[in-house]
Structure 1
Amino acid sequence: MKSINRIIKDLPLGASALVEERINHKNITFIIIKDRFKNFMDAPWTMEFHIKGGIIKKRNTLSAHLMVQVKDNFNEKFYPFHFNYFDSNSLKLLYNLIKQREVCIVVSDGNNEYISRSFSNNLGPFLRKYIRISIGCGHRWSENEYKRTLMETIETFQDITELWDSLGEEVYMEIIKK
């Protein structure tokens, strides 16, 4: 996880990233979150992870949104991820997440210390649906179209909590227990 260590070090607090790492001849996508969590190292079992997803169509552009909610005894924070079917890097991460048996979330603190948790992967049906709908769209949108509609979509929500509430079904939930 050499590149993950480097990414954690470079990632500012309050940020998140999807990172591809090659492990045992397989490409694995990791969800990395770096933030301040009160019980981070002392009591990681108090953390809850929830993931919601939604597919948003605006004009002729489709975007898939995954949002990770991380809760501990003191905080509730949200980390959004957006996917563009017609972006090769985004598509590669999508396919990794579909194929993986587990979702790997790496949570780091301000000292670049981290814990990782792996959960059964329930993201496949949602991500496959996004790919199927994108293929069936009959229109290839450009990177500029995607970015413009993504910004417009995000701006329609007052805050990140409203975006969370508007996303579709919860596609994943895991509560870590001691």
Structure 2
Amino acid sequence: MADNSSFPDWHGTTILAVRKGGKTVVAGDGQVSMGPTIVKGTAKKVRTLAGGRVIAGFAGSTADAFTLIERLEAKLEQYPEQLARACVDLAKDWRTDRYLRRLEAMLIVADKDQILTVTGVGDVLEPEHGVAAIGSGGNYALAAARALVDVEGLDAEEVARKAMAIAADICVYTNGSLTVEVL
């Protein structure tokens, strides 16, 4: 493995996906940190794909994530209306391709029916309980969303916003400047 000690210590990102009541929401914070410094507070780490039918959020290196999202878009064109197949094909390429294998990012990908977490080690995971999260504040957002998802009167977007606010209060690499996409 290459020595990355000369690279900046990039941290941050919380991406959360919630599916409840026929709605799917992906929310991401806007903070980008380099070591102890916040270098941007309004980054957009959540994107719509496939003509607005798919949402993807990323954690990790931005350039690497954009490369993966471009590859995912190509897979979605190759396998329209087959999100799981597109993600499995991407994960297979990511794990086996010499160039892609070096990419340092994770994705949460969702459509109206499912949420998937895609990693560079070949994982394509569908969460239990309709909630998934990645990034430095992901565990905080996940725990909060799991606690809120069964609360009557809260829809998927309200659960996501409240859980992200809790994560931002706990994780120094997460802020309250959200990008929220809903299907």
The one of the two structures with greater contact order (alpha-carbon pairs below 8 A, sep at least 6) is 2
Higher strand share: 1
**TM-score over 0.5 for the alignment?**
no
TM-score, scaled relative to structure 2: 0.29
Structure richer in helix, relative to its length: 2
